[in-house]
Amino acid sequence: MAEGCMRALRYAMVFFNLLFWLGGCGILGVGVWLSVTQGNFATLSSSLPSLSAANVLIAVGTIIMVIGCLGCVGAVKESRPLLLSFFILLLVIFLLEILSIILCFAYQNQIDQYAQSDLKKGLQLFGTEGNIGLTNAWSIVQTDFRCCGVTNHTDWFEVYNATRVPDSCCLEYSDNCGLENPGTWWTAPCYERVKGWLQENLVALWIFALCTALTQILGLVFSMTLFCQAVKVETFYA
């Protein structure tokens, strides 16, 4: 009976990590595709220029693939080193996620202030040579969220040293419409618009976070159970 349960657990572990690995492959593939085809779309941050959507997806996909591979091979071969490595990596990631959530709640105001300040610095790079990624990113955000600037459309006045905004701020897009009457521009702050969108989708975000946490906990339980069983078997035959 116990042997049958362990066999079922091993198959579940293999299936779990195979899905994990395939998910990592998919994320990595999307990241590479974005990097190749949408390379001009980068980050809005001036201090973290490499933190683009493509780079984040490539990094996350690679990490998931490595962890999934460790777990899958470790479960098939009942390898103690691989199962322990899988357990430790998954535990570290799980603890870092919890720590990140706690810090975000504890320092929410400071994070808001830093983010707004950093985004305003990024505006200074808008339209400049070598920053087409940041330029495109701001244009997309302002068009999709119908907003202008970080905290106000007047943020752009400091960038242009004139009463002017990018054309992506216009209610109806046309060339050089950012030079026209302010009444033809979006005036809502992009930071608050994006933050509001996240709050509106908070339930979906929490469901995703809970599902992710549950998946990680199951992975930790499966791997440690198999690891302990492998130790018992090795001790028995020693």
| pLDDT value of residue 137 | 84
Q: Which long-range contacts (CB under 8 A, 24 or more apart) does 177-184 make?
A: 182/153
The torsion region of residue 124 among left (phi > 0), alpha (psi -120 to 50) and beta comes to alpha
**CA-based angle 203:207:212, to the nearest 5?**
150
pLDDT confidence bin for 110, thresholds 50/70/90:
very high
| pLDDT value of residue 234 | 61
61 in Cβ contact with 24 (< 8 Å): yes
From the list 162, 180, 163, the residue with the least C-alpha distance to 171 is: 180
| pLDDT value of residue 42 | 58
pLDDT digits (tens, 9 = 90+) for 23-69: 888 888 888 887 776 555 556 666 666 667 778 888 888 988 888 88
Residue 136 C-alpha from the chain's centroid: 19
| pLDDT value of residue 43 | 65
Give the whole-angstrom CA distance, residue 36 versus residue 152.
34
* Burial class of residue 199, CB neighbours in 10 A (0-12, 13-18, 19+): exposed
pLDDT digits (tens, 9 = 90+) for 173-183: 888 888 878 88
pLDDT confidence bin for 191, thresholds 50/70/90:
very high
Give the whole-angstrom CA distance, residue 46 versus residue 125.
8
| pLDDT value of residue 98 | 92
Highest-pLDDT range among 31-35, 45-49, 70-74, 188-192: 188-192
Tokens of 162: 């004139």
